[in-house]
Structure 1
Amino acid sequence: MPSPPDHATEERPTLGGSVPPLREWASTFLIGLFMGSADAVPGVSGGTIALIAGIYERLISAVTAVTPGQVLAFLKALTPLDGGVSVRSAEAVFDEVDGWFLLILLTGILTAVVVVTRAVHVLNQEAPVLLFGFFFGLIAASAVVLLRAISIQSAEAVAAAVVGFTAAFLLSGEIETLVGGGLAIVFLAGMVAVSAMILPGISGSLLLVILGQYTRLSETLSVFVDRLAGLVSGGSLDSLVSPGTVVLTFVGGGLVGLFTISRLVRYALDRNREVTLSFLVALVVGALRAPVVEVRTEVGFSTDVLLTFAGVAVVGAVVVLALDWYAADFEIEEI
């Protein structure tokens, strides 16, 4: 008489079986650190770093593979619903979306973002001219690189460029006055910033600058991390509520943007690449107003301030041009 199947053996946990080797883990984490550092400053795109590192196609494939249906299937497989817990089913979903790659890369990105935003928080308080002068150089050089990489020939592309430039220029430094600084604008910031992070040349942080949320979110994240660490030494849980609400709202907006706006951008690129790229690149050019507004508001311009601002801007521009040199084979028209 045949023995019954060993369900325990069939369903034994195997999720760790597909964990990449340590060398690949370390390499992906390091790329994540560079991408996170780039994403955390306006004008430099994490997507460009992904291109330089040779993982851009894999990143796009993995991100677009993550759908609400896949997330739901993964969670259902790990709960007593729909026939019971099935680690094998969860592993199949996880592998289908290249889960370990995304998890390790995201860990590196988040680590870098936390570190860089802390530096931004300090510099914004101690040396805003240096900070925003550097940002101006990053944005300006990015605009030059992108404008050199695209071709604007049709009337529709010209119109899209005018709309993109005008929107970025008018909104830079002004949107909080127009719509307020509530959680709705934080949610919107999360949607557009995370969506832009997967596009080479277009920085998610740049869009935060346009929306007037970059400094606020950098400072809020630093406060949140400090208070979270303070819980170990007896800090109050209540102190986490205010910054935590802002951070979670941004993350929520980012998840929505990942499943909606990022896919709309990809669709627009596939449908009319010239018009879409013209609009996106014009956003970068129009955003040059944002760091100028920040310095004018916080410090005011004088001869010394202007010289310092210009000098640091040159440094920022050199950083972008160096990255562009390493990414010389990148063609924005082939995104």
Structure 2
Amino acid sequence: MRGRDSLGVYLRGVAMGAADAVPGVSGGTIALLTGIYPRLIAAITAVEPDRLLAVLAAPLPDRRADAVAAFREIDGIFLAALGLGIATAIVTVSRVLEHAMAAYPAATFGGFFGLIGASAWLLRREMAFDTRGRQAAAVAGFAVAFLLSGQAEGALGHGLPVTFLAGSVAVTAMILPGVSGSLLLLLLGQYEYMIDHLSAFVDAVFAILTGESATIPPGTATILTFLAGGVVGLFTVAHGVRWALKRRKAATMTFLVALVVGALRAPVVQTATRLDAGWTTTAIGLFSGAAVVGGAVVVGLERAAGGEAIEI
């Protein structure tokens, strides 16, 4: 892949990362909109343990040829450029969101509410209730999300096992149509926690690079555990979801869309915990106005993509 092509993939990664950083917007939608979704899915599913080990063995002289071959098989340059773009956007956007959630909770979480609600509305055509199994999937998806919203943080806490789980679940958003990794983190009560840790980690890394500090960045274990969960999830959870979508697509999509609907409770609960004066008229107005804007963003993206469904 030429330098200009890599730059184009990097910029697409920036757009995907910015989308995935906010609950309700799927990076998969951006990948579809920018024309790289089929290539992304092909690259992700090509990443297998034996190929990954072959790439990691590149420093060994007698393994270099195998490493190059494996790197090409997983479309390594494409994934590296895309991943760098996603990381760039997430680091940048997360800092903005950290401030916004603290300073403007009603507007910020209202925007999330609109993003999530519009995503559910646009995905409604993927739902089916014609069998008891699909009806049960809808009830289960809604119940899981509704019960987790606002409750998961207190129940699960923020230990490293929970962080590992969050990473393995969030990575599946790369193949889930209309569902973002941030939304899954919000459901698990880990969204703000990871945003805070990521911002602190980045600040510490910059301090080390500029010579202002020589200490290990705080939260390093949390970030590394989350990334390790993502790698494991790529080989397990993501492939399991893909298997379910191929063999039971109607029931799986019904469950996923119901999950998004149930998740609408999360922004409301998160806002309520941050409003010192409660739900005043001003807070309700800000929340509602931001929800309309968030919904308009998702509808605009869907129209830009031509209303085309993502095929798994």
- The CA distance in 1 between the partners of 2:241 and 2:207, in whole Å, is 40
Whether contact under 8 Å (1:46, 1:203) holds in the other structure is yes
Given residue 25 of structure 1, which amino acid in structure 2 is its aligned partner? S
In the TM superposition, what is the alpha-carbon distance from 1:171 to its structure 2 partner?
0.5
**Alpha-carbon separation, structure 1, partners of 2:123 and 2:21:** 19
1:117 aligns with 2:75: no
Describe how 1:48-87 pairs up with structure 2 within 5 A. 48-79=29-60, 84-87=61-64
Q: Paired residues, what number?
A: 310
Give the AA of the match of 1:215.
Answer: E
Shift of 1:243: 1.2
Gaps of 5+ in 1: 1-19
Matches within 5 A, 1:184-263: 184-238=161-215, 240=217, 242-263=218-239
Corresponding residue for 1:331? 309
Shift of 1:165: 0.5
| Structure 1 residues 36-90: Cα deviation after superposition (integer angstroms, max 9, x where no partner) | 01111100000111111111111111001001111112223432xxxx4343322
Shift in Å, 1:245: 1.1
1:295-334 alignment, distance < 5 Å:
295-299=271-275, 300-332=278-310, 334=311
CA positional deviation for 1:239: 5.1
Partner of 2:247: 271
Aligned to 1:94: 71
Asked if 1:34 corresponds to 2:15, the answer is: yes
1:97 and 1:233, CA in 2 relative to 1: closer, same or farther beyond 3 A? Answer: closer
Residues 222-275 of structure 1: per-residue CA shift (max 9 Å, x gap) = 1100011011343444351x3111111111111111110000001011111111
- Equivalents in 2 of 1:237, 1:63: separation in Å? 36
- SS of the equivalent of 2:273 reads helix
**RMSD value, Cα:** 1.4
Native 8 Å contact 2:142 2:261 kept in 1: yes
Aligned residue for 1:305, secondary structure, equals: helix
Q: Distance in 2 between matches of 1:234 and 1:56?
A: 41
Q: How far, CA to CA, are the matches of 1:87 and 1:105 in structure 2? A: 24
Is residue 182 of structure 1 aligned with residue 163 of structure 2?
no
Which runs of 5 or more structure 2 residues have no equivalent in the other structure?
Answer: none
Shift, 1:136, TM fit: 0.6
Q: 2:137 aligns with which of 147, 160, 163?
A: 160
Query: Comparing 70-79 with 50-59, which one deviates more in the overlay?
Result: 70-79
Note closer, same or farther for the CA distance 1:77–1:324 as it changes in structure 2 (3 Å cut): same
Superimposed CA distance per residue, residues 303-333 of structure 1 (whole angstroms, 9 cap, x where no aligned partner):
110011000110000000001111224225x
CA distance 1:230–1:63, change in 2 (3 Å): same
CA contact (8 A) 1:227 1:235 kept: no
Q: Secondary structure at the match of 1:181?
A: coil
Amino acid at match of 2:194: L
> Could you tell me the percent identity over the aligned residues?
50
Counterpart of 2:250 in structure 1: which amino acid?
E
Runs of 4+ in 1 over 4 A off after TM superposition: none
Partner of 2:24: 43
Decide whether the 8 Å contact of 1:193 with 1:207 is kept in 2: yes
Judge conservation of contact 2:128–2:134 (CA < 8 Å) in 1: no
Q: Please report how far the alpha carbon of residue 129 of structure 1 lies from its aligned counterpart in structure 2 after TM superposition.
A: 1.3
1:39/1:197 contact within 8 Å kept: no
Match of 1:141 in 2: 118
Instruction: For residues 174-232 of structure 1, give each alpha carbon's deviation from its aligned partner in whole angstroms, at most 9, with x where no partner exists.
Output: 11211222112111110111112322211110000001111111111011000110113
Match of 2:146 among 155, 160, 169: 169
